[in-house]
Amino acid sequence: MVLFPAKKNPLVTNSKKSQKIDTMRGNHTNWSGLLLVLTAGVLAACAQMQQPPVVDKSPVPYKQATEMFLAGYTHIAEKYIEKIPASQMAMEGIRGLGSIDPALTVKRVDDKIFLPTSDPEEEPNYFDAPADNDIKGWADLTVKIWSEGRKASPELFNSSPEKLYEAVFDGALSKLDIYSRYSGLKEATRNRARREGFGGIGIRFKVSSKSVRITRIIKKTPAARSGLLVGDLILRVGSIPVVGLSSRDVSDQLRGRIDSKVKLTISRGSEPTPRIFLLERHLIVAPTVKAKINDGIVFMKISGFNQQTSRDLAKKMQHLRNVHGHKIRGVVLDLRGNPGGLLNQAIKIADLFLDHGKIVSTRGRHPESIQYYEAGGRDIARGLPLILLMDGRSASSSEVLAAALQDQGRAVIIGTTSFGKGTVQTVIRMPNNGEITLTWSRLYSPAGYVLHGLGLRPSFCTSGSGEMKNKDLFASIADEKLVRQAFKSWRNTGIYKQAQRSKLRASCPAERRKKAVEVRAARNLLNNVELYARALALAAFDAKKPVEEAIKAPKQNITNAPQ
């Protein structure tokens, strides 16, 4: 389909009646006009012979669609971190219809919005553009253009309302930033399950072309109580055979309403007859914290931040303290590969290790996006040395936690520069129970610098290293003046100085780290009390004590920390 250049044609209007050519002037016949009408009728008849007319059996849900666009446009206009005119977001959204039918081109010329018709020989329809900030006007117009576009586009005609919402909001949000997005009902349900938990049985599984094998059974879940075993093969969920389904489809079958029942047909080992298990779904919140102790050092791997992360970490730390007591001589939090999650959980964990001071602040355009968080006065590690491991995939809430502990002089970071995702997204429930995830504020570390686009600087950089020797790794903080200047530059480079920020990140490139070099470095650093204290003091934002004085103090604090 081709969109013709806009013309100031008085015969083309929004009204179907006024789109007819007036062939009568007074009481005299306009023969040229009549001939034009007859010719157009012949051409139209030919076109109809070539392509049967589309009969609309699924009328546009005007009310529901208008509610959706009005809600979405309103939230974006009010809450997005930068001010966006309704006209700009709506036009991008309307152009998003091109993702359904690339030939459906929509253009704005001055105060007119042009839409092609089903006949390329006809002038395009046009609509009057609402005022720039008339949100309701733009929501109404979006629905009108959708309705008219269905007449010209079979692809648009055959698309569901949900497909429309996805196309429009993807168009409106994609030009804002990569973290603002729309999720339809199914995806939004999965998102809420990751954040808040879901009705399930408590297993992990692996799908192959021939089987669905249980690989893990989470403790204190219906699966653990039922007698299911790791290695069991799932044949059916209810009456549905699962072999050949995708992982997502298997998950959809296993999950359901809390307290509802699900029947599993299981094949176990060499047993000739499948077993039947009837389980009742409970609220399942995926575990995100793994803890172990080795040679007096507590290692905690945090894979994400959901609603139970801080509680699980506190419980595991308290259990280890109860069992091992004074034998614990340090704590390592492994945040490598952690993409983030719930901001409040990162704040709560920072609060678990800090007894005072700022944790993070958020600032945006909407009044509710401006928040300040401070520590509440307890340290579950009771002053034990704390080390964080980070890499190029440590992002968002991981960076909030790390920045708070580093700036406050509570932890030393080993690894690479982090991802640099320093914005906060608010999740907006839509009328169809989908979601808009919208960036609405930036994160500021206790030192006052913007995390977004920069990330955190580790005290000991492992970028590019294989099996780096400790003496080479730890030599990086030998020059006190140089280290202080490096951290000062990191914290004082403004958000709009992209070239300087890129240069800073390049000094310790962000990388994905899975090797044990960071773990060994953490272990060796905890064995060197003086080096740990020096690194801690140099990275702290507002150290009240000189480095040499700080080095002496931890010797007593570490060895005599109350247990």
Q: Can you give the pLDDT at residue 73?
A: 97
Strands 198-200 and 181-183 come out as unpaired
The pLDDT of residue 72 is above 90:
yes
pLDDT per position as a tens digit, 74-84: 999 999 999 99
- Average the pLDDT over 3-32 and give the result: 33
Clarify whether 396 is annotated catalytic: yes
Confidence of residue 426 (pLDDT cuts 50, 70, 90): very high
Q: Can you give the pLDDT at residue 59?
A: 63
Among residues 226, 303, 310, 396, the one annotated as catalytic is 396
Confidence of residue 447 (pLDDT cuts 50, 70, 90): very high
Contact status, residue 3 vs residue 105, Cβ threshold 8 Å = yes
Q: Can you give the pLDDT at residue 469?
A: 60
Q: Can you give the pLDDT at residue 561?
A: 29
Q: How many CB atoms lie within 10 A of CB 451?
A: 25
pLDDT per position as a tens digit, 342-361: 999 999 999 999 999 999 99
Q: Can you give the pLDDT at residue 471?
A: 64
Residue 392 to residues 82, 290, 421, 464: CA-CA distances in angstroms?
Answer: 27, 21, 11, 12
Q: For residues 225 and 563, what is the distance between their CA atoms, to the nearest angstrom?
A: 35
Who wins on pLDDT, 29 or 163? 163
Q: Which two tokens stand for residue 544?
A: 């009240």
Q: For residues 24 and 21, what is the distance between their CA atoms, to the nearest angstrom?
A: 9
Q: Which two tokens stand for residue 338?
A: 């952690």
Q: Can you give the pLDDT at residue 57?
A: 44
pLDDT per position as a tens digit, 517-563: 899 999 999 999 999 999 999 999 874 444 444 444 433 333 222 22
- Average the pLDDT over 88-92 and give the result: 95
Q: Can you give the pLDDT at residue 26?
A: 37
Confidence of residue 514 (pLDDT cuts 50, 70, 90): confident
Q: Which two tokens stand for residue 156?
A: 């648009």
Identify the three-state secondary structure at position 261: strand
For residue 369, the 8-state DSSP code is G
pLDDT per position as a tens digit, 387-398: 999 999 999 999
- Average the pLDDT over 141-164 and give the result: 91
Who wins on pLDDT, 15 or 169? 169
Contact status, residue 424 vs residue 178, Cβ threshold 8 Å = no
For residue 8, count CB atoms less than 10 angstroms from its CB and return exposed for 0-12, middle for 13-18, buried for 19 or more.
Answer: exposed
Report the interhelical angle of 62-79 vs 161-174 (nearest 10°): 20
- 497-506 long-range CB contacts below 8 Å, 24 or more apart? 498/453, 501/453, 501/454, 504/454, 504/457, 505/417, 505/420, 505/454, 505/455
Among residues 310, 407, 418, 445, the one annotated as catalytic is 407
Who wins on pLDDT, 219 or 418? 418
- Average the pLDDT over 108-116 and give the result: 89
Q: Can you give the pLDDT at residue 207?
A: 95
| CA angle 491–496–497, rounded 5-degree value | 65
State the number of CA atoms in the 13 A half-sphere of 149 facing the CB.
28
Contact status, residue 75 vs residue 437, Cβ threshold 8 Å = no
pLDDT per position as a tens digit, 448-504: 999 999 999 999 999 986 655 666 677 888 888 999 999 999 999 988 899 999 999
Residue 339 to residues 314, 335, 407, 524: CA-CA distances in angstroms?
Answer: 21, 9, 21, 27
The pLDDT of residue 168 is above 80:
yes
Q: Can you give the pLDDT at residue 467?
A: 59
Strands 386-390 and 435-444 come out as unpaired
Q: For residues 118 and 150, what is the distance between their CA atoms, to the nearest angstrom?
A: 9
Clarify whether 20 is annotated catalytic: no
pLDDT per position as a tens digit, 123-141: 778 899 999 999 999 999 9
Q: Can you give the pLDDT at residue 40?
A: 39
Q: Can you give the pLDDT at residue 23?
A: 28
pLDDT per position as a tens digit, 301-327: 999 999 999 999 999 999 999 999 889
Mean pLDDT of the chain: 84
CB neighbour burial string for 354-381, b if at least 16 within 10 angstroms, e if fewer: beebbbbbbebeeeebeeebbbeeebeb
The pLDDT of residue 33 is above 70:
no
Among residues 101, 421, 441, 463, the one annotated as catalytic is 421
For residue 457, the 8-state DSSP code is -
